[in-house]
Amino acid sequence: MDSSTLREQLRAQAARMNDGEGEAHTVLQWLSQAGYLQQGVPRALGGSGTRLWEAVQAIAEVSEECLTSGFLFWCQRVFVEYLLHTPNKALRDQLLPDMLSAQRAGATGLSNAMKYLGGLEPLRTRATLETHGVVLDGFLPWASNLQAGRFVVAVAAQVDDQRALVAAVPAEAEGVQRSDDLSLLGLRSSQTATLTLKGVRLSQGWLLAEDAHTFLASVRPCFLLLQCGLPMGLARRALQVAGEQMQGVRSVLQERAERLCHEWQTLYEQTRQFAVQERVASEAMPALFQTRIRWVRLAVQAVELELEAAGGAGFLHGTDTARRWREVAFLPVLTPSATQLALQLQQAGWTE
């Protein structure tokens, strides 16, 4: 499948995906067939051999047409990133082919873990070590891409006061309980639900990392950079549509549109500079936090501008503008939220 055909299909399905009538599995299969899931993955491991930057741009392309599909893409692709970073090569080799072909769904249950890494909250899952494995007990209030019977979810769990680990938990493991899909404002086909883990017993072979803090710190830059593709794509489409409707009285919006387009270009270049690096240095993380915050704010402002440019027609149910208005409401609360990142920057005493 070529990219133009993929984008047409995503565009045609966008309303259904947002309203909860779309198929997450089908979308991920399309992305695999078009080579999008393979972006940023080494050729030796079944990928395209490109860099993370190409994966960020691919997520932006998809989000431009449908944010629900872009978010599912991010979930799948960030799980792939966990496999690329794990020291457990056997687990990587076992799961990666199915992730790249979308036979398995990758779910990131690390929202709580990223808050834990930032010192904002404790881990919600406990791990009890056994001779040949681990037992998990806990609760994940929010995880996405939980395709029934086919998902594997990454979970961080506290072992004791000094130690935490990260495990890959398959849907078929005994003790994994998935709720019904959450009733979201939009992105209703994102297969978002809560997970309860009750005495889930896993072998050592399912551990992504025995040292959660080191592992999470290593994947966090990729986690955030791939997320930047979501507002990047949504804002680009909103600004494009707004620009096409600035005739007559709406020309008063032109100056604002030009300012937002300039901001988009600035953030695009900043994101590219981060994503082409082999590794984002720890001292650069505050700047990456700020870039992620600014992307979310820009996307919200861009869709607001689109709505003003469209006028009353943009408020009609079923229009693309109304869909993007619901979609963009998700970005400020996507973990780590803009507020959580701003709090971490404040606590660190960092200013731009």
Among 272, 263, 165, residue whose Cα is nearest residue 216: 165
Report pLDDT for 351.
65
| Sign of the dihedral defined by the CA atoms of residues 55, 60, 62, 68, in that order | positive
Q: Please check the confidence at residue 126 and state whether its pLDDT lies above 70.
A: yes
Mean pLDDT of the chain: 94
Q: Please check the confidence at residue 121 and state whether its pLDDT lies above 90.
A: no
Tell me the CATH number of domain 214-347, given options 3.20.20.140, 3.30.413.10, 1.20.140.10, 3.40.50.2300.
Answer: 1.20.140.10
Contact present, 113 and 124 (Cβ < 8 Å): no
pLDDT in tens, 194-233: 999 999 999 999 999 999 999 999 999 999 999 999 999 9
Contact present, 338 and 293 (Cβ < 8 Å): yes
Contact present, 58 and 73 (Cβ < 8 Å): yes
| Sign of the dihedral defined by the CA atoms of residues 144, 149, 151, 157, in that order | positive
Superfamily of domain 3-105: Acyl-CoA dehydrogenase/oxidase, N-terminal domain (1.10.540.10)
Contact present, 315 and 304 (Cβ < 8 Å): no
Residues 329, 303: Cα–Cα separation, whole Å: 10
Report pLDDT for 110.
80
Selected residue with higher pLDDT from 193 and 247: 193
pLDDT-derived band at 99, boundaries 50, 70, 90: very high
Contact present, 304 and 239 (Cβ < 8 Å): no
Q: Where are the domains of the chain?
A: 3-105, 107-212, 214-347
Selected residue with higher pLDDT from 315 and 68: 68
pLDDT in tens, 240-277: 999 998 877 677 889 999 999 999 999 999 999 999 99
Report pLDDT for 73.
98
Tell me the CATH number of domain 107-212, given options 2.40.110.10, 3.30.450.90, 3.40.190.10, 2.40.50.140.
Answer: 2.40.110.10
Report pLDDT for 331.
97
pLDDT-derived band at 352, boundaries 50, 70, 90: low
Report pLDDT for 251.
77
Q: What percent of the chain has pLDDT over 90?
A: 82
pLDDT in tens, 290-323: 999 999 999 999 999 999 999 888 888 899 999 9
Buried b (16+ CB within 10 A) or exposed e, 61-85: bbbbbbbbbbbbbbbbbbbbbbbbb
pLDDT in tens, 133-178: 999 999 999 999 999 999 999 999 999 988 999 999 999 999 999 9
